[in-house]
């Protein structure tokens, strides 16, 4: 949901997903003089449930003034009324689903130890977070409905360090407090989706790469015992062959006709989707980037995405049938292209377009180029997640100078030959965590023990996500040549669905902001440019305000783009 508000001095905007609310604000043109002496902004949040106030308080942050409230333990959250937000954009990552919130944004002036809340200049806005549909079928089915579940993906974080003291998560117990926190509903939604196949009226058709988290395999076995018709195509050829087979045996699925080994050796069998059928009719599909592994569900950043739409579900069901025939890339390319052709240019408005791989010939980059063309069409904002390498077709777009903010978050740093240009509007972050004394006033964080690529496993791209006509591209493919030429993959291209875009945008900014701060600390430390005051707020307005109004600075574009144009 999106909301805007205009006060006497400020105007503001909120973009609410399920668990994230992105806030942006700006001075009205006639009130730019209020920048003088500005120390930052306090944010007050009032939460409502069933029309009643649940709580009201000044929101808290960790960054504080160095010489104020000395003696606080590192990592202690502090009130933004005492230690304000020195930005024109902020994310509330503590929101709950299906709640109404009123945010009040108040400028502060004075000095760090004698701050003054400028109450007359405050702006308030009301917004509601998105509802979790709790795995309810889309009865109307006139338009596709999406249920979207992001895990936390940030075990290396102040929140985990503060709450669990960097404990080793018990991967054998998904109900433990640490694992529930890391899952953030992703595991529960996956088990719940499989559990919808509760009797003989239902069927499941799955295609899985990593299939070695036992509780999920057990959930499939439970569906079989309940009478559901379950068929699982699993990778029986590459890296996870042994683990997959052992998990299948442990669940007793090898004693049924439910498992179908996919033994093609060229490329990898990289899908992670499950089709739900009722009375032999496909009604929904679970897809996204989440492998059926402890690391996929609880470790690095991932999403599970349900589409409640008979047409989309049927397309996946037909694709599953081709996979079950154990077709090689050579034989499956043409049927996949026929079943999921790329539009010429942008997809139709308010549409959902599946894209199935393998699809491109070995000397073709047609699909990646189509994605890159959509990236180049952006007017203001691109958000791009990269688990491995940035392909040249995307580098060619990113290297061009323009006024589009292009955010990239990647599991690790840029490699040899990865060139994204010198445009300061291209903002890059690599995954990381804070070690001892990495940032003043912050706790030490831990590494991720659950994965080999530790941080980013999502595969999605957002084009102008907070505009009126957003484009979301999401699924299993790593935006790589093999993903289109020889791998089993699936993607969804969703145009015009602002609810979907708002959820993805909030989660992207949560992950990007988290890793961007850690990436900068790491790079500056490597260059011996570490600022001992980097973990503290600026005590002089001239040290932070001008950048937000310098037209050459990305912070100025972010201020304008995020708050949007005035009505």
Q: Is 110 helix (H, G, I), strand (E, B) or coil?
A: strand
Are the beta carbons of 546 and 552 closer than 8 angstroms?
Answer: no
Are the beta carbons of 454 and 448 closer than 8 angstroms?
Answer: yes
Percentage above 70 pLDDT, the chain: 100
DSSP 358: S
Q: For residue 110, what pLDDT is reported?
A: 98
Mean pLDDT (whole number) for 81-101: 97
| Tens-digit pLDDT profile for residues 117-166 | 999 999 999 999 999 877 877 777 778 899 999 999 999 999 999 999 99
Q: For residue 476, what pLDDT is reported?
A: 98
Question: d(Cα 240, Cα 300) in Å, to the nearest integer?
Answer: 18
**Per-position DSSP letters for 42-84, written without gaps between them:** EEEEEEEETTEEEEEEE-EES-B-TTSSTTPPTT--EETTTS-
Q: For residue 134, what pLDDT is reported?
A: 75
Mean pLDDT (whole number) for 74-94: 97
Torsion angles phi and psi, residue 280, rounded to 5: 70, 10
Give, for 3, the enclosing helix (H) or strand (E).
strand 2-6
| Average pLDDT score over the chain | 96
Percentage above 90 pLDDT, the chain: 92
Q: For residue 132, what pLDDT is reported?
A: 85
Q: Are strands 272-278 and 281-288 parallel, antiparallel or unpaired?
A: antiparallel
Mean pLDDT (whole number) for 107-115: 97
pLDDT over 90 at 406, yes or no: yes
DSSP 165: T
Mean pLDDT (whole number) for 512-538: 90
Q: For residue 567, what pLDDT is reported?
A: 67
Question: d(Cα 313, Cα 90) in Å, to the nearest integer?
Answer: 37
| Tens-digit pLDDT profile for residues 33-69 | 999 999 999 999 999 988 999 999 999 999 999 999 9
Taking residue 245's Cβ as centre, other Cβ atoms within 10 Å add up to 18
Q: For residue 182, what pLDDT is reported?
A: 98
Angle at the Cα of 488 (from 317 to 206), degrees rounded to 5? 40
User: Would you place residue 238 in the very low, low, confident or very high pLDDT band (cuts 50, 70, 90)?
Assistant: confident
DSSP 301: B
Mean pLDDT (whole number) for 73-88: 97
| Tens-digit pLDDT profile for residues 273-318 | 999 999 999 999 999 999 999 999 999 999 999 999 999 999 999 9
Q: For residue 531, what pLDDT is reported?
A: 79
User: Would you place residue 203 in the very low, low, confident or very high pLDDT band (cuts 50, 70, 90)?
Assistant: very high
Question: d(Cα 445, Cα 447) in Å, to the nearest integer?
Answer: 7
Mean pLDDT (whole number) for 251-261: 97
Helix, strand and coil percent figures for the chain, each rounded to 5: 30, 30, 45
Question: d(Cα 297, Cα 185) in Å, to the nearest integer?
Answer: 10
Diameter of the chain measured on Cα atoms: 75
Mean pLDDT (whole number) for 242-261: 97
Q: Is 107 helix (H, G, I), strand (E, B) or coil?
A: strand
Q: For residue 262, what pLDDT is reported?
A: 97
User: Would you place residue 258 in the very low, low, confident or very high pLDDT band (cuts 50, 70, 90)?
Assistant: very high
Question: d(Cα 389, Cα 148) in Å, to the nearest integer?
Answer: 25
- The residue among 395, 396, 409 whose CA lies nearest residue 461 is 409
Distances (CA, A) of 274 to 195, 292, 359: 12, 11, 20
Distances (CA, A) of 167 to 160, 177, 433, 488: 8, 11, 15, 36
| Tens-digit pLDDT profile for residues 388-398 | 999 999 999 99
């Amino acid at each position: 949901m999106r909301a805007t508000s205009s006060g006497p001095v400020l105007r503001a905007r909120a973009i609410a997903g399920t668990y994230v609310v992105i806030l942006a604000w700006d001075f009205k043109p006639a009130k730019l003089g209020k920048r003088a002496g500005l120390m930052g902004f306090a944010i007050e949040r009032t939460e409502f449930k069933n029309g009643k106030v649940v709580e009201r308080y000044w929101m808290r942050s960790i960054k504080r003034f160095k010489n104020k409230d000395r003696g606080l333990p590192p990592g202690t959250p502090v009130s933004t009324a005492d230690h304000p937000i020195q930005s024109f954009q902020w994310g509330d990552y503590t929101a709950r689903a299906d709640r109404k919130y009123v945010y009040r944004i108040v400028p502060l002036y004075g000095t760090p130890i004698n701050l003054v809340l400028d109450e007359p200049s405050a702006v308030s806005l009301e917004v509601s977070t998105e509802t979790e549909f709790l795995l309810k079928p889309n009865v109307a089915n006139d338009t596709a409905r999406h249920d979207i579940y992001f895990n936390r993906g940030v075990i290396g974080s102040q929140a985990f360090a503060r709450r669990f003291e960097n404990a080793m998560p018990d991967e054998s117990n998904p109900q433990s407090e640490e694992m529930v926190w890391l899952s953030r509903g992703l595991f529960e939604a996956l088990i719940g989706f499989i559990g919808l196949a509760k009797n003989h009226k239902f069927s499941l058709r799955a295609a899985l790469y990593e299939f070695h988290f036992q509780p999920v395999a057990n959930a499939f076995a439970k569906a079989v015992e309940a009478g559901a018709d379950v068929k699982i195509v699993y990778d029986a050829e590459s890296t996870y062959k042994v683990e997959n087979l052992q998990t299948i045996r442990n669940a007793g699925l090898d004693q049924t006709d439910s498992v179908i080994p996919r033994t093609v050796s060229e490329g990898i069998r990289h899908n992670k989707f499950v089709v739900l059928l009722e009375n032999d009719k496909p009604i929904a599909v679970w897809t996204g980037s989440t492998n059926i592994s402890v690391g996929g569900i609880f470790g690095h950043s991932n999403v599970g995405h349900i589409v409640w739409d008979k047409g989309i579900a049927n397309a996946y069901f037909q694709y599953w049938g081709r996979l079950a025939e154990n077709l090689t890339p050579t034989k499956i390319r043409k049927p996949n292209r026929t079943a999921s052709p790329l539009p010429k240019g942008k997809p139709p408005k308010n549409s959902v377009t599946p894209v199935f791989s393998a699809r491109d010939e070995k000397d073709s980059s047609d699909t990646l180029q189509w994605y890159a063309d959509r990236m180049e069409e952006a007017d203001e904002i691109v958000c791009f997640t990269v688990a491995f390498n940035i392909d040249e077709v995307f580098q060619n777009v990113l290297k061009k100078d323009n006024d589009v903010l292009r955010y990239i978050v990647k599991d690790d740093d840029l490699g040899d030959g990865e060139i994204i240009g010198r445009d300061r509007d291209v903002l890059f972050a690599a995954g990381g965590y804070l070690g001892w004394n990495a940032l003043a006033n912050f706790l030490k964080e831990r590494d991720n023990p659950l994965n080999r690529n530790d941080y980013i496993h999502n595969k999605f791209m957002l084009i102008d996500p907070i505009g009126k006509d957003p484009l979301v591209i999401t699924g299993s493919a790593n935006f790589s040549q093999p993903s289109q030429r020889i791998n089993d993959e699936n993607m969804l291209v969703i145009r015009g669905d602002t609810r979907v875009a708002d959820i993805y945008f909030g989660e992207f900014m949560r992950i990007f902001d988290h890793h961007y701060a850690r990436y900068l600390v790491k790079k500056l430390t490597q260059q011996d440019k570490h600022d001992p005051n980097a973990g503290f707020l600026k005590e002089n307005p001239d040290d932070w305000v001008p950048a937000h109004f310098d037209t050459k600075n990305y912070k100025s574009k972010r201020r304008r783009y995020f708050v949007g144009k005035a009505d």
